[in-house]
Structure 1
Amino acid sequence: MRVLFVCLGNICRSPTAEGVFRRELDAAGLTGRVEVDSCGVGPWHVGKAPDPRACAAARRRGIELSDLSARQLCAEDFQRFDYLLAMDHDNLAALKRLRPSDCRAHVGLFLDFAGKENRPVPDPYYGGEQGFEEVLDLIEEASRGLIEDIGRRLEVL
């Protein structure tokens, strides 16, 4: 099972989701059964580490993001991943535009797994520290819902 988190530049929301989700997988005993990655729809930050504010907020919750580096979404991602989860509607629109017709992956909004259908993870980039904390809260909640969904799917396999 493979999960890809997608945001605009891959320096705030999607690497935070990657880090949080790895922790949740570990807690659920699924670490070896699920591969996790993150990317951005744009090329602006390719090769860069996550935003220092995202790293600091995650570190306060025991999650390390500094070893991650930004990359851009590529065509192979649609074949490689089972879930491509967008952080907001613009990211989702980009995924749907680029999605090949033979793609069998689940492509949708990440917060749908938190029972917050059609809601975006807000972009904290231009805000203050509280925005990064809110993003972490939302991502933690959605991660638990995604773990439940994956758990059901893995039991069927």
Structure 2
Amino acid sequence: MIRVLFVCTANICRSPMAEGIFRHLVAQAKLSHQIETDSAAISPMRIGEPPDARSQRTMLKRGIDIADLRSREVRRDDFLRFDYLLAMDRTNQAYLRSLCPRGQEHKLFMMLEFAPSIGVAEVPDPYAGGEEGFELVYRALDIAARNLLAHIRQQHRLAPDEPPTDGKTEP
């Protein structure tokens, strides 16, 4: 099982959107039994809350429901549990680095490392703005999530789950 954790400040905008997009792509690729997703916050201020309503609306426009997600705070043991920890911005990355146990640094990435064509390093925080900011974030995260999945498939040689067969071929 490959485990992927998306991290932002409060875990109500960017990281649940990233998790939702990635989880959707994983399901489409029939890799849900091989890849697990989660998201977390560097701040405890919104623990237990669902994603921001604007995040949910942006995702629902694409047929992705993230209403089941709840904010949680990132923990030191997440570095032992997860294979990939993806920070949305440099502040998130710095916090994760301060929490990271020695020998686990290779698991830490910036989300937009997987979207170099965008030309920016950080996913902007849309919280203080309007709906258009959430649309912009969605587009950036979608590109990065697709490239992240391709990277994971290649690195771990993952193939889609095949339906069980009884050894017979269909006509």
- The equivalent of 1:122 in structure 2 is 124
- Helix, strand or coil: the match of 2:151? helix
TM-score, normalisation: structure 1: 0.95
Q: 1:22 to 1:154 in 2, by over 3 A?
A: same
Q: 1:90 to 1:104 in 2, by over 3 A?
A: closer
Alignment partner of 1:66 is 2:67: yes
- Residues 100-109 or 25-34, more deviating: 100-109
Deviations 1:3-49 (A, max 9, x none): 00000000000000010001111122211100100000010000001
**2:141 alignment partner AA:** I
Paired residues of 1:113 and 1:142 also in contact (CA < 8 A): yes
Moved over 3 A (4+): none
Q: What is the rounded CA distance, in whole Å, between the counterparts of 1:118 and 1:128 in structure 2?
A: 20
TM-score, normalisation: structure 2: 0.87
Paired residues of 2:10 and 2:42 also in contact (CA < 8 A): yes
Deviation at 1:104, TM superposition (A): 5.7
Paired residues of 2:17 and 2:138 also in contact (CA < 8 A): yes
- The equivalent of 2:165 in structure 1 is none
Alignment partner of 1:138 is 2:140: yes
Alignment partner of 1:88 is 2:86: no
Task: Tell me the C-alpha RMSD between the 2 structures.
Answer: 1.4
Q: 1:131 to 1:8 in 2, by over 3 A?
A: same
Runs of 5+ consecutive residues of structure 1 not aligned to the other structure: none
Q: What is the rounded CA distance, in whole Å, between the counterparts of 1:153 and 1:2 in structure 2?
A: 13
Q: What is the rounded CA distance, in whole Å, between the counterparts of 2:151 and 2:16 in structure 1?
A: 21
Deviations 1:24-77 (A, max 9, x none): 111222111001000000100000011011101111111101111000001110
Alignment partner of 1:28 is 2:12: no
Paired residues of 1:81 and 1:105 also in contact (CA < 8 A): no
- The equivalent of 1:13 in structure 2 is 14
Question: Going by fraction, where is helix more abundant, 1 or 2?
Answer: 1
Q: How many pairs does the alignment contain? A: 156
Paired residues of 1:84 and 1:105 also in contact (CA < 8 A): no
Q: What is the rounded CA distance, in whole Å, between the counterparts of 1:15 and 1:43 in structure 2?
A: 15
- Residues 83-92 or 114-123, more deviating: 114-123
- Residues 91-100 or 111-120, more deviating: 111-120
Q: What is the rounded CA distance, in whole Å, between the counterparts of 1:76 and 1:92 in structure 2?
A: 16
- The equivalent of 1:37 in structure 2 is 38
